[in-house]
Amino acid sequence: FPGAVGPRGRERLEEVTASLTAGRRVPDAMAAVADADALVIAGGGNVSSQHPHNLYERLALSRAARPAGRPVLISSQTVGPLVLKDDRPYFSELLATATAVGVRERDSHKLASRVGVAEDRLTLTVDDAAWLEPGDDDRARVDALGLPGRIVTMSLTYHTGSASYPQAAYVSRAAASSD
């Protein structure tokens, strides 16, 4: 669904859904869901109007999984905070029909609850990448850079999202955590 935003994204979602229902050819990823054990939607940016092509694509995959009896697991999400009125039904459907939903912040938990995710299917969790360990190839690439001593690398978003403190405090806390 790259580039499928606004009305075009919603049209593409409905075209794919109609093809699924009628048994017509669908994108390979949609067809593969029926052969999978489960559909896992991981990482951020999937449940927001900020990246609507992700929302429509993930919902299309979910619509392919459910009739095939495959569980839909959504993990490590920031829900919203931007949800446009036109996207709200799709946003709500994706979350409310999932077998389990993991969210990264309390605000995401509240928003998911408000759109119909049952408490027994909703979990406050950490980012999926929190416990990743570098492999030997990763270490070799860093060693090849010839950097002095130990370094800390941080990848941060430019905005505070649903955090309840101002931008300046966000930047200050991020900087302090790297010291």
Buried b (16+ CB within 10 A) or exposed e, 150-162: eeeeeeeeeeebb
pLDDT at 140: 93
Beta bridge partners of 40: 73
Q: In what order do the strands lie in the sheet with 39-41?
A: 39-41, 72-77, 100-103, 122-124
Torsion of CA 114, 110, 121, 32, to 10 degrees: 80
86-111 residue pLDDT tens: 888 998 999 998 999 999 888 889 98
CA–centroid distance for 145 within its chain: 32
pLDDT at 65: 93
Please confirm whether the linkage preceding 81 is cis (ω < 30° from 0). yes
The answer for residues whose C-beta is within 8 angstroms of residue 12's C-beta and 6 or more apart is 1, 4, 56
pLDDT at 170: 77
Give the C-alpha separation, 166 to 160, whole Å.
7
Print pLDDT tens along the chain (179 aa).
Answer: 766 777 888 888 898 889 888 888 888 888 899 889 999 998 777 788 888 888 888 999 999 999 899 999 999 888 887 788 888 899 899 999 899 999 988 888 998 998 889 999 999 988 888 788 889 999 899 889 988 877 777 776 666 665 566 778 877 877 787 66
Beta bridge partners of 102: 123
pLDDT at 161: 61
92-95 long-range Cβ contacts below 8 angstroms, 24+ apart:
92/116, 93/59, 93/62, 94/46, 94/47, 94/55, 94/58, 94/59, 94/62, 95/47
Give the C-alpha separation, 46 to 41, whole Å.
8
Beta bridge partners of 73: 40, 100
Question: pTM for the full model?
Answer: 0.74
